[in-house]
Structure 1
Amino acid sequence: MVSPQRAAGRPALMPDRDPVIDLARFFCLLLVVVGHTMMVSPVLHPDGTVTSENTLGNQRWFEPVVWVLQIMPLFFVAGGITGLQSWRRLRARGGNAFDFMQGRLLRLIRPATVLLAVMFAGLSLALLSGVDPQVIQLLTSGAGMPLWFLAAYLAAQLNLPWLAALHGRAPWLTLAGLTSLVVAVDCLRGVLPMLAYLNMVFLWCAVQQIGFIVADSRPLHPSRPALFGIIVASNALLGLLVLLGLYSGNMLVNLNPPNVTLLLLAISQAAVLELLRPLLARTASLAWVRRVVGVAGRRSMTVYLWHLPLLAAMSGLLLLTDLPKPAGGTAEWWWARPVVLLGVIALLLPVLALFGRLEERPMAPGPAPSRPAAAVLLAAVAVFVPAVQAALNGLTLGLLGGGAACFALAVVLLGRIPARLTASADRPGGSEPPLPRPPLSANVEP
């Protein structure tokens, strides 16, 4: 990709949302939901025990497929593009890094707080009602999978202001520094395995930086041959690392804890995104596509957080019925996947109606001061303690309750967002464009 365009003085604003990025995020979310319906497969054994199998992940033919469809790096690239835009617009309105952190935390943890509370209450009642503790733990650990993403995405987004400042001074040097940290952790993870989890921060921050570079490179329009060359080179290097036995070819294995293979995937996916931009732009301009993407985008975090717990609960309840239970990977099992997907969507609809509005940022009714930096930092700590614990050691019923309490404390500490930070940036004599409010724009970024 070509060198980023850097403006003198104040960073250039990007006043309009990018419909291509909204469409890419929608695609990522859809692929995650569909993929999970083909992975989660609880099994009831003759002795009464219940286990869970990753049916799709256990198929050897799936490894090259997931190489293409492992879209988590693309999600962080898109987060870097829109996050940089959001941060620059906030600065133009007089906001600071703690205002940005407040908005990001509220956007993500308000829906997560309700999920953890509902799960804790529901599973506690089920345990008291006599449901086998093994089943409770299976549902709890499976439903906790989205929390690793919450911890990783928050780590990247909360570091965005100072990483954006480094990007403004030396974009390629910043990316090289983060890449060096990722490689160093990979080299040492054999000696200190727990050190590998540092890449939950280093790796995803590096991928986010790629989003910064894409955002600032777009006005210079990298050529199609250049983009194609980047795609070929990054995948060739990735293939070489796999052939040498340094990394697994299964990108699900490489996901948690993450390693440098995902950074190479991110480079390739960012180039593919730019290569397909004209086609995606035409698709995103269709009226029905805008409506679908807008509706899904405004409730994307609720869909992401709830779909897996609902899938696990539905699968667990089916085990208690006399309905056929085909073994994972059989033809009958595959034919049942569309029905399972429709069932998850049917369960999601009332959840979105009840809790979807929690993704909307709470605004102060009148003039309000920004939250103290100490309150924002304490809220971040309250969120990361249970989220990191769940990512490292798995989710338990006790951690569900503790996490819900910590998240609720963080919401109280963060309070409401001052109206001045969400109003139009129009000022007498000012040079900033107004903040657009398209009615159907995806509410992925504040």
Structure 2
Amino acid sequence: MQEQGAAPQHGPAGRRGAERDLIIDLVRFFCLALVVVGHCMMVSPVLHRDGTVTTENTLTAQGWFVPVIWIFMVMPLFFVTGGTTGLQSWQRLKARGGTGFEFAQARLLRLVRPATALLACMFVGLWAALLLGVDPQVIQLMTAGAGMPLWFLAAYLAAQLNIPLLARFHDRAPWLTVGALAGLVVAVDCFRGVLPLLAYANLVFLWCAVQQLGFLMADGHFARLSRSALVGLVVAANLLLGVVTGLGLYSGDMLVNLNPPNFCLLLLGVSQAAFLQLVRPMLGWVAGVRWVRALVAVAGRRSMTVYLWHLPLLVGMSGLLLLTDFPKPAAGTASWWWARPLVLLGVVALLLPVLAAFGRLEERPTASVHTRGRPAGAVVTAAVVVFIPVADAAFNGLTLGLLGGGAACFALAVLLLGRMPERVVEQVPERPSAARGGLSGGQEGGPLPAGPSSASVEP
């Protein structure tokens, strides 16, 4: 029997569109919440007597941080769930006659539109602060700190835009595809000492490999494993992780292993995917609770806005507090830790007007049914235009000038992409048995769902 909140499995990736999985949406919400809470415990600016400002990462300085981050490094889990929802979205679009370029167009619009607003607002706000006399060193510090979420945007886009191609490989040889990507990850790790810039290739190879685990989950490969096999996967992945970090091949700090990413995060992804399958029955019950489902739905529709804006708002709030007489306990003291819930509440309070102003940019931009899709060249050009400033920021760091240039590039990409045309699907007449078939969903020959029942609005 299928657990509550889960979407039915329909076989290989070539099937007609799959319904959304409420359990996956719940996990994505948990990952986002954990990232926001974690950042609230990391940012700690310090104003020195000479007027300079530095930042301290109080959380990473704790002796217990390294073993705890093995458990709470949820970025691989985010890509696993992103692979599941991404594959299902591609299957729905493909079932309506959509193409890979239309999928890329929708994905770019979904992520680039809210990011454009963020970059533009950051550029205007920080430039105004500079004109008002704020020290350029402080401006640069705030720019670099607030721009950290952009690496995720680059990695997530690179993985998501490859979904149509990787789905084709997955259909033919799912395990071979994962193995090939894992081999590329290891190869990059082996040569990154000689060619340091090569390490950034794993922003594509590593996260695509982790995303493939989500493909396997979407197609029921993990569901077919016994509980003992799933426990074995969790244990084996963590044991191998302990070996490679214990031998000094990789750092034991998973935050260090995050950017640029390496093989350790793939091992974490395997462990987290298997563990997620183990706890699906419990999560199914939680996802079925009405108020939980409502909360996840509301938060999920604005998840990218929350992710992109929470750190800039946290950095800005912390910087402004330095200019006031508000009590500022020393980082790491008991008073500092007790103040963290207040900091979190402050970030949430600042997020509310931002969500009201910019949250709708995440919603799927759908044009008239008579609007034609954008040419493939426009979609490819938009992708290149987006990745140019992101790559520059990854290699050289984010600056105020790059913020302005990035906002212009992202705005150009949105203009190139236009709006996503809606495909008209010819409705298949319902068979008598299907007309009263209850909630089984996805009947062969039946009409596709009218829209996503998702926390995260997907095409």
2:170 corresponds to 1:187:
no
Return the letter of the residue paired with 1:253.
Answer: V
Q: What is the count of residue pairs matched by the alignment?
A: 438
TM-score (norm 1): 0.95
Partner of 2:436: none
2:95 corresponds to 1:82:
no
Q: How does 1:417-428 map to 2 (within 5 A)?
A: 417-420=420-423, 426-427=427-428
Secondary structure of the 1:43 match is strand
Pick the aligned partner of 1:301 from 304, 315, 324.
Answer: 304
Partner of 2:145: 142
Return the letter of the residue paired with 1:165.
Answer: R
What's the offset of the Cα at 1:134? 0.9
- The 1:425/1:357 distance shift into structure 2, 3 A limit, reads farther
Partner of 1:336: 339
Q: How does 1:378-417 map to 2 (within 5 A)?
A: 378-417=381-420
What's the offset of the Cα at 1:387? 1.1
Return the letter of the residue paired with 1:437.
Answer: G
What's the offset of the Cα at 1:15? 2.9
Pick the aligned partner of 2:451 from 433, 437, 441.
Answer: 437
Contact 1:424 1:435 survives alignment (8 Å): no
Secondary structure of the 1:40 match is coil
CA distance in 2, matches of 1:116, 1:432: 44
CA distance in 1, matches of 2:279, 2:425: 32
2:58 corresponds to 1:38:
no
CA distance in 1, matches of 2:347, 2:31: 17
What's the offset of the Cα at 1:13? 3.1
Runs (5+) with no aligned partner, structure 1: none
CA distance in 1, matches of 2:223, 2:456: 28
Pick the aligned partner of 2:100 from 73, 97, 110.
Answer: 97
| 4+ aligned runs moved over 6 Å, structure 1 | none
CA distance in 2, matches of 1:148, 1:257: 9
Alpha-carbon displacement from aligned partner over 1:319-369 (angstroms, at most 9, x marks no partner): 000112111111111011000000000000000011100001221134111
Contact 1:425 1:434 survives alignment (8 Å): no
Secondary structure of the 2:117 match is helix
CA distance in 2, matches of 1:362, 1:258: 32
What's the offset of the Cα at 1:434? 1.3
CA distance in 2, matches of 1:74, 1:220: 17
TM-score (norm 2): 0.93
Stretch moving more, 89-98 or 321-330: 321-330
2:63 corresponds to 1:63:
no
Contact 1:15 1:433 survives alignment (8 Å): no
What's the offset of the Cα at 1:401? 0.2
Secondary structure of the 2:213 match is helix
Alpha-carbon displacement from aligned partner over 1:141-172 (angstroms, at most 9, x marks no partner): 01110000000000000011101100100111
- The 1:425/1:134 distance shift into structure 2, 3 A limit, reads farther
Alpha-carbon displacement from aligned partner over 1:52-108 (angstroms, at most 9, x marks no partner): 111101222110000000000000000111111111111110100000000000000
2:268 corresponds to 1:265:
yes
Return the letter of the residue paired with 1:435.
Answer: P
CA distance in 1, matches of 2:44, 2:402: 24
Alpha-carbon displacement from aligned partner over 1:265-308 (angstroms, at most 9, x marks no partner): 00000001000000000000000000100000000000000000
Pick the aligned partner of 1:355 from 349, 354, 358.
Answer: 358
Return the letter of the residue paired with 2:123.
Answer: F
Return the letter of the residue paired with 2:51.
Answer: G
- The 1:222/1:239 distance shift into structure 2, 3 A limit, reads same
Stretch moving more, 320-329 or 97-106: 320-329
What's the offset of the Cα at 1:7? 5.5
- The 1:425/1:153 distance shift into structure 2, 3 A limit, reads farther
Contact 2:452 2:458 survives alignment (8 Å): no
2:247 corresponds to 1:233:
no
What's the offset of the Cα at 1:219? 8.4
Return the letter of the residue paired with 1:257.
Answer: P
CA distance in 1, matches of 2:71, 2:347: 25
Partner of 1:119: 122
Secondary structure of the 1:442 match is coil
CA distance in 2, matches of 1:141, 1:43: 16
CA distance in 1, matches of 2:11, 2:68: 41
Contact 1:144 1:394 survives alignment (8 Å): no
- The 1:388/1:432 distance shift into structure 2, 3 A limit, reads farther
2:175 corresponds to 1:161:
no
2:287 corresponds to 1:284:
yes
- The 1:284/1:332 distance shift into structure 2, 3 A limit, reads same
Q: Percent same amino acid at aligned positions? A: 69
Partner of 1:128: 131
Return the letter of the residue paired with 1:326.
Answer: P
2:255 corresponds to 1:252:
yes
Contact 1:6 1:168 survives alignment (8 Å): no
Secondary structure of the 1:410 match is helix
Secondary structure of the 2:44 match is strand
Contact 2:41 2:340 survives alignment (8 Å): yes
CA distance in 2, matches of 1:324, 1:412: 46
